[in-house]
Structure 1
Amino acid sequence: MKAVEQEYATLRVVQDGRVLTAFVEAPPHNYMTAAMQRDFIALVDAVEHDRSIGAVVVTGGVPGRYITHYDIGDLLAASEGSRTRSRRATAAVVRSVALLHRRGGATARRLLRRGPLAEVHRLVAFNLALERVLRSPAVWIAAVDGPCGGGGLEMSVFFDLRFCSESARFVLPELSIGLSTTFGGRRLAQLVGPSRALELMLSARPLDAAEAQRWGLVDEVVVSPVAGRGSVVDGVSSVGVSAVGSSPDRTPAGGARTGVAAPDANGTALNGTVVDGTALGGTAPSGTAPSAATPGGTTPPRPAAPGAVLARAQHRAAVFARRPRDVVAAQKQLFHDPDATTATESLLRELVAQGVGVPTERVRSALRRWLELQGPDGDSTFLTDPRPWQDGTAVDLVRDR
């Protein structure tokens, strides 16, 4: 069965040529859930065997949302429904389930899904599916237009490319509630470096789009088209739309204005950005009023128009999808296979650490407090009032420890 013909509980998939777009739809807040993880497992499986797909774009299907983070209510329910095990016992369970999943065949996987270890099996299968994305014959792109946190960020670091709007924000709140990452920690450290990855988690602060690009977490920041001056989907002649330029020291000699690389023959800057002839923060085109500055003298970000990030990601995906799947898979394996054994081991270790931490009373107290502070509409406290969690004052995680 083709990927577009599969049934998903939280994904709406549309195929245009060789590009499959998966809209994440878990309204109203687009929290990651067990159902969403099962859907992504199925999607990875389907794409792996569907030769009609050359690229996959994952984006939010709820306006202004990508994947906010894992559903804290669901996490608390899982915590209260689990019994505490030692690290050794947890490791034995996780490794046994992983071995059966990989080598036991369809019958073993079906029994695991229906048995008492179904939740462990789901997490193992999700972790291993993300590892397979690194070797997928399709190019995977995240189009982030909204908050991307927790499990949503951990999943997206396994994709090949990440595009975002200027209004996108990236955050990992796990340590603030006494938990480690479940699957994306090692991959995040590979992208941004161990020190930055740890600082991101220790501070629990959100990264804005520009900082995320400087760190190497984001590949392209899409700026909103200026009214009447072109479209984000043009790509070749995208007048009025650009990606935020890289630092000036990366601008080729003889290039464009400060901070923006000179375009090549296709209108695509040599450092991967798309330029419209005007450097961001530079002189406005004739007849265009300068945007208002903030009290600090900087120009506020211009939010991407609805669909701009998705349109840009789909346009690039259509180009990438023209590459042969077998060669794409081979090249990704060349990039990632030296780490294959350690990557698998790292994913299992992350899952073991999570399995040890989730059932503890410390984590349960933090999760209950989170839900107490959550807005009446159920929106994430990391979007409404993150300061107590960033400061470590929302709940005492270290008392008597």
Structure 2
Amino acid sequence: MSVIKTQRDGAILEVTLDRPKANAIDLKTSREMGEVFRDFRDDPDLRVAVITGGGEKFFCPGWDLKAAADGDAVDGDYGVGGFGGLQEMREMNKPVIAAVNGIACGGGLELALSADIIIAADHATFALPEIRSGTVADAASVKLPKRIPYHIAMELLLTGRWFDAEEAHRWGLVNEIIPAADLMDRAWEQARLLASGPPLVYAAIKEIVRDAEDAKFQDAMNRITQRQLRSVDILYDSEDQLEGARAFAEKRDPVWKGK
């Protein structure tokens, strides 16, 4: 039986990691998650994904240490999207929302960091405890100092301490905190809003953000204006680009076709 549950409604895909007791990720689970997110990326009818955890206690605690003790190599084959199927997924040009329904630590927090929007239940807690296990939170070491103040990120990485949803929100790590009973309703509300928007623009935004992450401003702008980014080039020649202008002129809502 699959531990990855999916629910599809129109252009939205909900992905639930449901692997009792704690939704930890072993190599097999990671590979399955990669296949799910690859199919989401490549399906033209899907526009937004929501990732959450099964149950009420755990979003994801990250790497399955019991599986590691039984022979799963920490540097093994995580699958097409890297650990958790998302953080190294190439050309993921669609919005992903993480609905953090409980504990998100280690690789689970890194999984949430791979999303574009993070919504946390009010009881959610976070940590990067890898240091206590004698290993490194590799993806978080790359991402976290770019997302929140450097000294806070380094403290969390170097101490492995726990912090709650309020602190995560204070540092800008999560977008909003929602009562647990309302978490998925809010995630779907946000997903529907995004699903109604222009998918080609979303793709351009995500590619620009990735490409410009370590670039100088003018270099990044030159690549955009010279149409060196595939998603931007597609957007500028698209029907949707014309539709946006026509809808504005005609004072009506645009109808996005994604082409």
Structure-2-length-normalised TM-score: 0.75
C-alpha change, 1:48 and 1:124, in structure 2 (3 Å) is: closer
Report deviation, 1:322: 1.4
Residue equivalent to 2:201: 327
Report deviation, 1:129: 4.7
Residue equivalent to 1:9: 2
Does 2:156 correspond to 1:200? yes
How many Å separate the matches in 2 of 1:168 and 1:40?
22
Residue equivalent to 1:275: none
How many Å separate the matches in 2 of 1:203 and 1:174?
9
Give the alignment partner of residue 36 of structure 2, picking from 39, 43, 47.
43
Residue equivalent to 1:188: 144
Q: Per-residue CA shift, 1:316-356, capped at 9, x if unaligned?
A: 11110112222211111111212379xxxxxxxxxxxxxxx
May I ask how many residue pairs the two structures share in their alignment? 214
How many Å separate the matches in 2 of 1:32 and 1:70?
5
Give the alignment partner of residue 131 of structure 1, picking from 82, 88, 91.
88
SS of equivalent residue, structure 2 residue 156: helix
Aligned AA for 1:337? D
For the pair shown, which has the larger CA radius of gyration, 1 or 2?
1
- In structure 1, list runs of 5 or more residues that go unmatched: 1-7, 83-118, 224-303, 342-401
SS of equivalent residue, structure 2 residue 82: helix
Q: Per-residue CA shift, 1:235-272, capped at 9, x if unaligned?
A: xxxxxxxxxxxxxxxxxxxxxxxxxxxxxxxxxxxxxx
How many Å separate the matches in 1 of 2:159 and 2:33?
29
Residue equivalent to 2:238: none
Report deviation, 1:209: 0.5
How many Å separate the matches in 1 of 2:89 and 2:149?
22
C-alpha change, 1:36 and 1:189, in structure 2 (3 Å) is: farther
Does 2:87 correspond to 1:213? no
How many Å separate the matches in 2 of 1:66 and 1:125?
19
Aligned AA for 1:10? V
Residue equivalent to 1:34: 27
C-alpha change, 1:137 and 1:314, in structure 2 (3 Å) is: same
Structure of greater relative contact order (alpha carbons < 8 Å, 6+ residues apart): 1
How many Å separate the matches in 1 of 2:140 and 2:160?
16
Structure-1-length-normalised TM-score: 0.50
C-alpha change, 1:36 and 1:72, in structure 2 (3 Å) is: same
SS of equivalent residue, structure 1 residue 58: strand
Does 2:96 correspond to 1:140? yes
SS of equivalent residue, structure 2 residue 50: strand
Moved over 4 A (4+): none
Residue equivalent to 1:56: 49
SS of equivalent residue, structure 1 residue 57: strand
Q: Assess if the C-alpha contact under 8 Å between 1:54 and 1:324 holds in 2.
A: no
Q: Assess if the C-alpha contact under 8 Å between 1:56 and 1:140 holds in 2.
A: yes
Give the alignment partner of residue 309 of structure 1, picking from 164, 183, 191.
183
Report deviation, 1:44: 2.0
Report deviation, 1:124: 7.5
Q: Per-residue CA shift, 1:290-329, capped at 9, x if unaligned?
A: xxxxxxxxxxxxxx32xx1111011111110112222211
How many Å separate the matches in 2 of 1:173 and 1:78?
21
C-alpha change, 1:125 and 1:165, in structure 2 (3 Å) is: closer
Q: Per-residue CA shift, 1:40-74, capped at 9, x if unaligned?
A: 21122101111111110111122322112321112
Residue equivalent to 2:70: 77
Q: Assess if the C-alpha contact under 8 Å between 2:35 and 2:80 holds in 1.
A: no
How do residues 358-369 of structure 1 correspond to structure 2 at under 5 angstroms?
none
How many Å separate the matches in 2 of 1:124 and 1:49?
13
Aligned AA for 1:324? P
How many Å separate the matches in 1 of 2:21 and 2:134?
26
How do residues 145-294 of structure 1 correspond to structure 2 at under 5 angstroms?
145-223=101-179
Q: Assess if the C-alpha contact under 8 Å between 2:31 and 2:79 holds in 1.
A: no
Q: Per-residue CA shift, 1:146-183, capped at 9, x if unaligned?
A: 10011111111011000011100011110111111243
How many Å separate the matches in 1 of 2:150 and 2:190?
30
Aligned AA for 1:29? A
Aligned AA for 2:87? L
Q: Assess if the C-alpha contact under 8 Å between 2:50 and 2:191 holds in 1.
A: yes
Q: Assess if the C-alpha contact under 8 Å between 2:97 and 2:117 holds in 1.
A: yes
Report deviation, 1:75: 2.4
Does 2:211 correspond to 1:337? yes
Q: Assess if the C-alpha contact under 8 Å between 1:24 and 1:62 holds in 2.
A: no
- In structure 2, list runs of 5 or more residues that go unmatched: 216-259
Aligned AA for 1:142? A
Aligned AA for 2:15? A
Q: RMSD over aligned Cα, in angstroms?
A: 2.3
